[in-house]
Chains A and B, each alone.
Chain A
Amino acid sequence: MQGAADLRSAAMEPHALLARLAVTIRNDIAPEVGDGFARTQAFMASVVLDKLARQLELAADHAALEHAEIAALVVDLDGLLTGADAASVRAAVVALPTSDPTAGLAALVETVHRGRPDLGDARTDELLSRIRTVLRSRVDRQMAYAS
């Protein structure tokens, strides 16, 4: 009997299984489908599975990076948010760490834009600039599986 160190996990990693399914559908199933529309659907299924596989593979790393960047953003913005005129933005920043990242960042962007009359152009643009750095990193990560 093999020792535990010699055994591999019985199941594939979920992302690897999805990627394998995509290959099987693309190479073995889709070409055998006679109807044109159904064949296109089969090929598209393989594309969707490929993207899911890549997204799933990267999900944990991406989540950790996003968490760290949002934490840094909260600290970064804190210094810019003194005064009563920044109260609504401060509230959106405070809510960030416990929010869904997409919803939290969207709410923050909206609050800063809406606050422009109170914050003034210079401070609004400075806040947006800091937030956009995080948004840039996010979308760059998404491009790793979306493009």
Chain B
Amino acid sequence: MSFPEIDADRIRVVLAARLGADDLRLDGVERIAVGWSHETWLFDGTWTDAEGARHTEGFCLRRDPGNALLREMSDLSVQFAVLRCLEGTGVPAPRARFFSDDPAELGAPFIVMEKVPGICPNPWGREGRAYYAAAATRGVLPASFTDALVALHRLDWRAAGLEVLGVPPPGGFARAEIAKWRALIEATGQQPDPILVDLLFWLDEHAPSTDRLALVHGAYRTGNVLIHDDRVSAILDWETQVIGDPMYDVAYVLSDLNREGTDLLSNLVPGDDFVRRYEAGTGFEIDLDACAYYQRLYAMRSAAFWMSASALYADGVNTDLRLARTAWSVPVVLERAARDLGY
């Protein structure tokens, strides 16, 4: 698939047509390089509507380059549908404005969302860790981080129209998730490591059966939420969401893989505070056995993710050297998984 470069002028022309605003002006156009997923642009638009009223609005445009990580499971049309469903629900998420898969517009599928105010410090960097440590002492952001997850898990997803994501069969969420990530492993065309094979069988043999379903983000941690005024202003990275067991998200929050040199969950939240606030907010009792299971499922997911990433480079689909580096992340994840399996 060809992937033509675009610029601010091309974006302006397309957005002006969408908004019916010939005088649209874009300011502060910035292409941000975060993540290995979709190409992302931020800008402010100012225009006059048909009634002569002036508008100024911040926008975020994401375009699918066709060679990004998780491209098999991060269809922008699905992201657009999810964001539309979340509007007005209390789940902090950007408001989706437009989706197009017409190559005549920007050469590749794209969505345009509102630009939500906030920052997203990198939890793996020194500055980011210091930011979250300082926020932890104030206590406001940890509560907001927990409350945003509560809002997600309390959402009436059927009423919101999120059945479009697919509903797992009764008791079958874990196996459906295994199947999804196994498909990603198979798509790499690489020979899976025997530890990964062992892990896949273990996961299948020990899959928990639960009928408690919620909208699950699938990667809920600092670094995937936008923060403004010490509160979560938006949950980002809607690429791995699924209708599933809310313990799947809780396991991710509880995982020590998402914190570095601190006992604070996701580098931010004291464990006891999270458990107390989450259980009070959702009415769910945290199931530690289920969480332990899902943490092993995340290990399998990580291995699949890194295999997929390194394959993008190895196959010449993507030339980002950070992807080449991920080949060595696979044994690191599997070493941990082997320990978790008792060897």
- Residues of A that sit less than 8 Å from B by CB: 36-37, 40-41, 44-45, 47-48, 51, 100, 102-103, 105-106, 108-110, 113, 128-129, 131-133, 135-136, 138-140, 142-143, 145-147
**How distant is the Cα of A41 from the Cα of B324 in the complex, in angstroms?**
10
> Known: A45-B321, A140-B335, A142-B335. Is A132-B201 also a contact (CB below 8 A)?
no
Q: Which residue of A lies closest to B199 (CB)?
A: A109
Interface contact B343-A135, CB-CB below 8 Å: yes
Contact across chains for A113 and B324 when beta carbons are under 8 A apart: no
Q: Which of A44, A102, A110 contacts B201 (CB 8 A)?
A: A110
B193's contact among A44, A106, A110, by CB below 8 Å, is which?
A: A106
| Min C-beta distance of A77 to chain B, whole Å | 14
Within 8 A of A (CB), among B320-343: 320-322, 324-325, 328-332, 334-335, 338, 341, 343
B2 contacts chain A at the CB level, 8 A cutoff: no
Most buried by B among A48, A51, A129: A48
Q: Which of B191, B196, B328, B335 contacts A103 (CB 8 A)?
A: B191
Chain A residue numbers with a CB within 8 Å of B236 are none
Q: Is B159 an interface residue (CB 8 A)?
A: no
Q: How far is the CA of A108 from the CA of B194 in the complex (A)?
A: 8
Q: Which residues of A contact B193 (CB under 8 A)?
A: 102, 106
Interface SS, A side: helix
Interface residues of B (CB under 8 A from A): 33, 191-198, 201, 205, 320-322, 324-325, 328-332, 334-335, 338, 341, 343
Q: Which 10 A-B pairs have the closest CB atoms?
A: A105-B194, A142-B331, A113-B201, A44-B321, A132-B343, A146-B328, A106-B194, A146-B331, A106-B197, A139-B335
Which A-chain residue is minimally distant from B195 (CB atoms)? A135
Contact in complex: A135, B198 (CB < 8 Å) = yes
B321 to A48, Cβ gap below 8 A?
Answer: yes
Assembly CA distance A55 to B321 (angstroms): 18
Q: A24 to chain B: closest CB distance in Å?
A: 16
Instruction: Report the separation of the CA atoms of residues A100 and B320 in the bound assembly, to the nearest whole angstrom.
Output: 29
Q: Which residues of B contact A41 (CB under 8 A)?
A: 320-322
A102 to B330 Cα, complex, angstroms? 13
